[in-house]
């Protein structure tokens, strides 16, 4: 048995189909002249956009328009004048088109990889997908056709890029197994949208699994069984049948109130990164939005979004939620999430550096522009402001003073606005230790278990040598969560959770027992989370 990460639930049973890496060596390509190389690059970019648009249409059919936006984002990235101009500049310096693509894309990959944030890391995978696709076109290498594999195939590869995943015929593919990736990678997101079980981060999967080998992939436990016995086959077929019935039963939880079996009212909210994500939230019947990650409004562009652009994004979501809570996290950016136009200084240890609330308080005009946009958008719905990476009371008081300053400016200019509740992310041990004091200063807590687990366990979850320690079920992390919830309850303020652990079936009973009010999860986890809560009885 091989061990990995269960990134898309379900059970895949079938025969392994190995997808081998393609040779993209361009060392023998010779430079002719700048005009010729630029023309080659332009033709490759045009071909890439054409192919990706075709894949987008296919993906809309198989997974939905929201998931197709992943590939549409690839087109937007390549159309970025900065990216293409940098490639052309390299060609002027004597690089062949292939090396120009490789160099510029690697610059972006390094930039997006230098972060602790999984969603920002995913940008690195997107750029790698663009790079590989362009190199294939430039080198005339044929793309692996995975659209016509036989029924019952379990695809095994080092990684599945969004462009590869979009070609999958979900009727023929039983599961996906990769050597890299995690629950937030785009290959996992697309697999979940297409209903395909996925086990990722299986070390040396392409070496340990043979083409045509009988295989079972357990998307729950993150396990891969090779050459299963008759008994294992029968056991997993029964599990597979039960799971399909269970998925159908979840539809009954759309629009249902989240109340435990012994009558305690809870709420299941959703985490989003862009205004368009709200449609998926509504389809799955979330009772609010517990985390709107605003940093994505600042990415994939050459200038910061204007106050008006931000206002439009926030008010669009507020209107769509029709009076339900929308918790907007202020810009969580800094040394660990580099954005070129902000000219953020490189740091040796960005995880402990100038980021999130620290960066915003030192860049007051940028911060005020966002706050004013949020206050204006609050007129159109029920919005709350959430401050990230709080470690001391001074940060809270300073941020609240900025919010008051913005209110005064809007009032003076005669601009319509609305005051909003202010809360914090509890995601550092420091915030946990003074959570009783912080609870006196804010109107709600939201526990960010992703960072809280990393900081508490001193673990870089991107480091495979220590990632096994990255688990919210570690006793120290559980104790931190319990302390935070109890501090909030004692102070009489709302407490939610917006990290991945909010949807963890192992943890949900403990969170209910300790008194968590709101569980904010990815839209695809809403119904399962609600079901677990509704079935809970003390």
392 catalytic? Reply is no
Residues facing residue 216 across a β-bridge: 13, 225
Cβ atoms of 224 and 215 closer than 8 Å: yes
CA distance 24 to 18: 18
498 catalytic? Reply is yes
DSSP codes of every residue in 375-436: HHHGGGSEEEEEE-S--SHHHHHHHHHHHHHHHHHHHHHT-------EEEEE-SHHHHHTHH
Cβ atoms of 165 and 190 closer than 8 Å: yes
Q: Which residues contact 407 (CB under 8 A, 6 or more apart)?
A: 375, 417, 419
φ, ψ of residue 17 in degrees (nearest 5): -125, 110
Q: Is the dihedral of CA 75, 523, 63, 5 positive or negative?
A: positive
> Choosing from 105, 406, 498, 534, which is the catalytic residue?
498
Grouping H, G, I as helix, E, B as strand and the rest as coil, residue 459 is coil
Percent composition of the chain: helix, strand, coil (DSSP 3-state, to 5)? 50, 15, 35
Q: Alpha-carbon Rg of the chain, whole angstroms?
A: 24
Dmax (CA) for the chain in angstroms is 76
DSSP codes of every residue in 285-317: T-S-EEEEEGGGGTSSSSSPPPHHHHHHHHHHH
> Choosing from 74, 186, 360, 406, which is the catalytic residue?
186
Residue found by looking up tokens 């569980």 in the block: 519
What are the structure tokens assigned to 245, written together? 């019935």
Cβ atoms of 491 and 440 closer than 8 Å: yes
φ, ψ of residue 164 in degrees (nearest 5): -70, -45
Cβ atoms of 488 and 497 closer than 8 Å: no
Half-sphere exposure of 473 (CA within 13 A, CB side): 8
Provide the strand spans (E) within 229-279: 267-272
Catalytically active residues, by annotation:
186, 498
């Amino acid at each position: 048995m091989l061990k990995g990460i269960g990134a898309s639930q379900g059970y895949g049973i079938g025969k392994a189909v190995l997808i081998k890496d393609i040779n993209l060596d361009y060392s023998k390509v010779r430079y002719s002249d700048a005009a010729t190389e630029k023309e080659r690059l332009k033709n490759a970019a045009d071909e890439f956009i054409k192919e990706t648009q075709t894949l987008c249409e296919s993906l809309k059919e198989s997974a939905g328009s929201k998931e197709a936006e992943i590939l549409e984002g690839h087109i937007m990235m390549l159309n970025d004048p900065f990216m293409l101009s940098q490639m052309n500049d390299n060609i002027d310096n004597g690089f062949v088109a292939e090396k120009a693509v490789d160099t510029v894309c690697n610059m972006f990959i390094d930039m997006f990889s230098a972060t602790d944030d999984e969603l920002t890391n995913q940008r690195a995978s997107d750029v790698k997908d663009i790079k590989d696709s362009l190199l294939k076109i430039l080198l005339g290498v044929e793309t692996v056709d995975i659209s016509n594999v036989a029924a019952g195939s379990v695809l095994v590869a080092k990684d599945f890029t969004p462009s590869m995943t979009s070609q999958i015929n979900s009727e023929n593919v039983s599961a996906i197994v990769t050597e890299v990736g995690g629950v937030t990678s785009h290959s996992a997101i697309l697999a979940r949208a297409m209903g395909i079980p996925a086990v990722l981060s299986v070390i040396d999967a392409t070496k340990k699994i043979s083409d045509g080998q009988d295989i079972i992939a357990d998307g729950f436990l993150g396990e891969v069984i090779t050459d299963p016995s008759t008994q294992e086959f029968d056991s997993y077929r029964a599990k597979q049948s039960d799971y399909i019935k269970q998925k159908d039963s979840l539809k009954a939880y759309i629009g249902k109130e989240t109340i435990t079996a012994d009558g305690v009212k809870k709420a299941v909210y959703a985490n989003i990164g862009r205004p368009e994500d709200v449609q998926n939230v509504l389809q799955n019947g979330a009772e609010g939005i517990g985390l709107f990650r605003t940093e994505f409004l600042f990415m994939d562009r050459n200038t910061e979004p204007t106050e008006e652009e931000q206002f439009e994004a926030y008010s669009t979501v507020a209107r769509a939620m029709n009076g339900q809570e929308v918790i907007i996290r202020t810009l969580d950016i800094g040394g660990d999430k580099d954005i070129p136009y902000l000219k953020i200084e490189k740091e040796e240890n960005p995880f402990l550096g100038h980021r999130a609330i620290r960066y915003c308080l030192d860049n007051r005009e940028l911060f005020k522009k966002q706050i004013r946009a949020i206050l204006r958008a609050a007129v159109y719905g029920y919005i709350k402001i959430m401050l990230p990476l709080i470690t001391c009371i001074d940060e809270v008081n300073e941020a609240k003073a900025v919010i008051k300053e913005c209110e005064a400016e809007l009032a003076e200019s005669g601009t319509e606005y609305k005051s909003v509740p202010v809360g914090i992310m509890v995601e550092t041990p420091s915030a946990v230790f003074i959570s009783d004091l912080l609870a006196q200063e804010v109107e709600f807590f939201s526990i960010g278990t992703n960072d809280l687990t990393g900081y508490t366990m001193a673990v870089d979850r991107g480091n495979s040598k220590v990632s096994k320690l990255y688990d919210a079920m570690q006793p120290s992390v559980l104790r931190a969560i319990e302390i935070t919830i109890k501090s909030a309850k004692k102070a009489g303020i709302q407490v939610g959770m917006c990290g991945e652990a909010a949807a963890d079936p192992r943890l949900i009973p403990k969170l209910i027992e300790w008194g968590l009010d709101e569980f904010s999860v990815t839209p695809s986890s809403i119904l399962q989370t609600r079901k677990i809560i509704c079935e809970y009885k003390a």
